[in-house]
């Protein structure tokens, strides 16, 4: 076990001090990694690894992730979310038609042990420290609703009464008491059960030094649990310990009960993927898409929506677009120029093809680097450069993360909107053309630019100030314009 006191910073004194981590979470760009599928830094922990089997462990671990943090830092992301790291059930289930193991981390067998295939507690601490050295914050995925199938909690006479299960009965008809995906359901309403789970997960939070939790299956656990969870995380892990919750199918309105009760800081907006992908494919009116994006800004003050194009639970964006990278770029542009915390799912930035489950959890493509899993899988470096550009623009412009959203041209295939952040005065105009013909942007020169020239943030180049801003937007392309410096 590692002492509660984290060791001193790893960097030698000659190095510059670690970057500050005290940013508003609204400004973060989050990168989500399925640990087992990213990078294998320690083959000695590869138990029952079979890279040819979609539901088996593929060898990725905490050391591999730490050794390859340059991949994240050079992309420009500012926060990392990792899948759960507690010991998962050994063995597999076959309901899907193939052996399906707990490689994803969501089928816990022991909340007090780390999954040995992912590494040791020291390696978890080292990962978090290495992230912090790069100014990257870390969210650890935690599950309170259920253990894995036939876990030790169901077998042990002392804990089997903690569970509703298909084997023992008691699975209820509602969100909180149902057995999600046939998994045993913790009776989180029992103080003894809640205390056990909270002690275990908050212990990981405290010892690892992570900056927050990503909360799994939020709507399947009662609100009183989440209130106690919030009280304890604040008390034991710090006032700023961040909670990003997964309420399946959530959006601004359906997440609000968890925000109004201050049970978590942020939730996933499941609406963004479908709305953005539909719009870039020419489905739905631009004005309706603009209305949706504007409505996201109405999230309860102090709380955040997180929006993704791909995840481990849905078919990824590039797959849904039938591999159309041109439209995928438009979707990425929209993701990184609109409000909320953008979540990039590992590998989508290099065009990992993804697919429907389980292909949406494929190996990180490493191209010609000799790094498993994913050596030899092709990478689209040009797409990655585009992401780098978008992320650097977002990080340089608070208007893109925190600004108000105002539709300027919403009546056709050319969609133009302004992001404006009054506090800093920052303002950015985004124009996305989903049409097959070139289109013309024509709007009055944005007031927020105060008569200054404009700059093409994506392509470079300067536009002279005038009474109006008039530029062409090529078919299926985007322009992002800011005030010239």
Q: Which residue has the tokens 């590998």?
A: 347
The arrangement of strands across the sheet holding 454-456 comes to 404-409, 414-421, 426-433, 477-483, 454-456, 462-463
Question: 61 or 426, CB closer to Ca ion?
Answer: 61
CB of 333 to Ca ion, least distance (A): 36
What are the backbone dihedrals phi and psi of residue 179, each rounded to the nearest 5 degrees, phi first?
-100, 95
Out of 28, 36, 61, 123, point to the residue binding Ca ion (CB under 5 A).
61
Helix (H) or strand (E) holding 463: strand 462-463
Determine contact, residues 90/115, Cβ cutoff 8 Å. Answer: no
Determine contact, residues 303/252, Cβ cutoff 8 Å. Answer: no
CB of 400 to Ca ion, least distance (A): 37
Question: 104 or 434, CB closer to Ca ion?
Answer: 104
Only segment of 21-29, 129-137, 181-189, 233-241 that touches Ca ion (CB under 5 A): 181-189
Question: 146 or 296, CB closer to Ca ion?
Answer: 146
Q: Give bridge partners of residue 473 from the DSSP assignment.
A: 439
Only segment of 54-62, 133-141, 393-401, 460-468 that touches Ca ion (CB under 5 A): 54-62
The β-bridge relationship of strands 137-142 and 212-215 is: parallel
Q: Please, what sign has the CA dihedral across residues 185, 190, 196, 200?
A: positive
Binding-residue total with Ca ion (CB under 5 A):
9
CB of 36 to Ca ion, least distance (A): 8
CB of 372 to Ca ion, least distance (A): 8
Check binding of 59 to Ca ion (CB under 5 A): yes
Check binding of 46 to Ca ion (CB under 5 A): yes
Determine contact, residues 299/343, Cβ cutoff 8 Å. Answer: no
Question: 247 or 448, CB closer to Ca ion?
Answer: 247
Tokens linked to 73 = 């830092």
Out of 37, 220, 307, 352, point to the residue binding Ca ion (CB under 5 A).
220
Question: 165 or 233, CB closer to Ca ion?
Answer: 165
What are the backbone dihedrals phi and psi of residue 291, each rounded to the nearest 5 degrees, phi first?
-60, -45
Task: Provide the mask over 326-365, with x wherever binding to Ca ion is found by CB under 5 A and - wherever it is not.
Answer: ----------------------------------------
Q: Which residue has the tokens 């005065």?
A: 425
Out of 31, 34, 37, 45, point to the residue binding Ca ion (CB under 5 A).
45
Bin 48: left if φ > 0, else alpha if -120 < ψ < 50, else beta: left
Q: Which residue has the tokens 């990078």?
A: 39
Only segment of 105-113, 204-212, 219-227, 404-412 that touches Ca ion (CB under 5 A): 219-227
Question: 29 or 198, CB closer to Ca ion?
Answer: 198
Check binding of 115 to Ca ion (CB under 5 A): no
Tokens linked to 70 = 């340059």
Only segment of 58-66, 192-200, 455-463, 464-472 that touches Ca ion (CB under 5 A): 58-66
Determine contact, residues 376/367, Cβ cutoff 8 Å. Answer: yes
Spatial distance between the Cα atoms of 246 and 81, rounded to a whole number of angstroms: 13
Determine contact, residues 250/263, Cβ cutoff 8 Å. Answer: no
CB of 23 to Ca ion, least distance (A): 32
Task: Provide the mask over 5-44, with x wherever binding to Ca ion is found by CB under 5 A and - wherever it is not.
Answer: -----------------------------------x-x--
Spatial distance between the Cα atoms of 409 and 466, rounded to a whole number of angstroms: 19
Strand, coil or helix: 396: helix
CB of 37 to Ca ion, least distance (A): 11
Question: 46 or 442, CB closer to Ca ion?
Answer: 46
Tokens linked to 14 = 């000659």
Nearest to 419, CA basis, from 433, 432, 407, 405? 405
CB of 279 to Ca ion, least distance (A): 35
CB of 51 to Ca ion, least distance (A): 11
Determine contact, residues 32/346, Cβ cutoff 8 Å. Answer: yes
Burial 27-44 (b: 16+ CB within 10 A, else e): ebbbbbbbbbbbbbbbee
Question: 40 or 109, CB closer to Ca ion?
Answer: 40
Residues in 130-169 that interact with Ca ion by CB under 5 A: 145
Out of 100, 185, 211, 263, point to the residue binding Ca ion (CB under 5 A).
185
Task: Provide the mask over 402-441, with x wherever binding to Ca ion is found by CB under 5 A and - wherever it is not.
Answer: ----------------------------------------
Spatial distance between the Cα atoms of 2 and 315, rounded to a whole number of angstroms: 39
Check binding of 123 to Ca ion (CB under 5 A): no
Question: 365 or 398, CB closer to Ca ion?
Answer: 365
Check binding of 229 to Ca ion (CB under 5 A): no
Give residues in contact with Ca ion (CB under 5 A): 40, 42, 45-46, 59, 61, 145, 185, 220
């Amino acid at each position: 076990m590692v002492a509660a006191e984290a060791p001193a910073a790893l960097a030698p004194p000659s190095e510059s001090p670690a970057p500050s981590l005290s940013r508003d979470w609204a400004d973060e760009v989050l990168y989500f990694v399925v640990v087992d599928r990213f990078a294998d830094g320690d083959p000695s922990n590869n138990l029952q690894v079979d890279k040819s089997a979609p539901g088996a462990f593929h060898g990725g671990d905490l050391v591999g992730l730490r050794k390859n943090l340059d991949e994240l830092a050079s992309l420009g992301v500012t926060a990392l979310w990792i899948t759960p790291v507690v010991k998962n059930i050994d063995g597999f289930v076959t309901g899907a038609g193939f052996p399906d193991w707990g490689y994803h981390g969501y089928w816990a067998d022991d909340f007090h042990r780390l999954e040995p295939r992912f590494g040791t507690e020291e390696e978890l601490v080292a990962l978090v420290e290495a992230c912090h050295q790069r100014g990257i914050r870390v969210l650890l995925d935690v599950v309170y609703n259920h253990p894995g199938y036939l876990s030790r909690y169901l077998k042990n006479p002392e804990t089997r009464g903690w569970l509703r299960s298909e084997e023992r009965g008691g699975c209820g008809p509602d969100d909180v008491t149902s057995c999600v995906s046939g998994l045993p359901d913790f009776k989180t309403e029992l103080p003894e059960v809640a205390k056990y789970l909270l002690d275990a997960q908050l212990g990981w939070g405290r010892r690892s030094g992570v900056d927050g939790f990503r909360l799994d299956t939020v709507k399947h656990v009662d609100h009183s649990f989440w209130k106690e969870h919030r009280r304890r995380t604040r008390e034991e892990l710090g006032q700023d310990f961040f909670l990003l919750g997964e309420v399946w199918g959530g959006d601004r309105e359906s997440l609000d009960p968890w925000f109004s009760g201050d049970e978590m800081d942020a939730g996933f907006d499941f609406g963004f993927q479908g709305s953005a992908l539909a719009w870039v494919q020419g489905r739905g009116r631009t004005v309706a898409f603009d209305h949706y994006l504007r409505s996201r800004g109405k999230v309860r003050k102090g709380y955040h929506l997180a929006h993704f194009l791909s995840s481990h639970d849905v078919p990824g964006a590039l797959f849904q677009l039938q591999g159309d990278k041109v439209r995928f770029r438009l979707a990425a542009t929209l993701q990184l120029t609109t409000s909320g915390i953008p979540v990039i799912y590992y590998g989508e930035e290099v065009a990992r093809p993804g697919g429907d489950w389980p292909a949406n959890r494929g190996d990180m493509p490493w191209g010609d680097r000799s790094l498993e899993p994913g050596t030899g899988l092709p990478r689209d470096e040009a797409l990655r450069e585009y992401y780098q550009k978008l992320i650097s623009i977002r990080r340089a412009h608070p208007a893109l993360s925190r600004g108000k959203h105002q539709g300027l041209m919403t009546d056709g295939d050319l969609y133009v909107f302004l992001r404006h952040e009054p506090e800093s005065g920052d303002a950015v105009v985004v124009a996305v053309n989903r049409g097959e013909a070139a289109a013309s942007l024509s709007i009055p020169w944005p007031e927020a630019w105060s008569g200054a020239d404009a700059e093409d943030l994506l392509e470079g180049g300067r536009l002279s100030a005038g009474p109006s801003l008039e530029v062409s937007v090529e078919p299926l392309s985007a322009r992002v314009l800011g005030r010239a410096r």
